[in-house]
Amino acid sequence: MSFFDEMKESLVSAGKDVSQKAKEVSGVAKLKLDVKSKEDYVEKQYAELGRTYFDAHRDDEENAENEQFKVIKEALAEIERMKTEILNLQGAAECPNCGARMPQGASFCSSCGTKMAEPEHFTGEVVDDEKFDE
């Protein structure tokens, strides 16, 4: 019976080793996930700080970041132009007050009651977008 006792002890010991390794691996995986989560949080804070700085200084005449501000302003203007083009192609318009999507030609917003602007018609004209290809 000594053989079976040794076998039992060996299996119990191996089980404890496997259990300990599993705990270590899951602990490392959890820590890695926590590190990634904190890194993402810091990146979001950096982005928000940059957005806050940009909003606070976008109209300053002189600052060290004028070139970056110019590129951002041009990109934002192009994004708005493309969004308007999408709305026009879909036969829709956006309320200038609440941003609700309305059928093109609507006089008033059904969400907030704001008078809608005259619809912009997409002429098919291609805007010079070489400055955005840099």
Predicted TM-score (pTM) of this structure: 0.53
Tokens of 89: 């192609």
Residue 130 forms part of a structural domain: no
Residue 134 forms part of a structural domain: no
Residue 107 forms part of a structural domain: yes
- pLDDT of the chain, 134 residues: tens digit per residue: 587 788 778 888 888 888 888 888 888 899 899 999 999 999 999 999 999 999 999 888 888 888 899 999 999 999 999 988 998 888 888 898 998 999 988 899 999 999 987 655 544 444 444 443 44
Residues 79 and 53 occupy one common structural domain? no
DSSP 89-127: HTTEEE-TTT--EEETT-SB-TTT-PBPPPPPPP--PPP
Residue 3 forms part of a structural domain: yes
The boundaries of the domain holding residue 5 are: 1-57
Residue 31 forms part of a structural domain: yes
Residues 48 and 97 occupy one common structural domain? no
Tokens of 86: 């999408």
Residue 129 forms part of a structural domain: no
Q: How many domains does the chain have?
A: 2
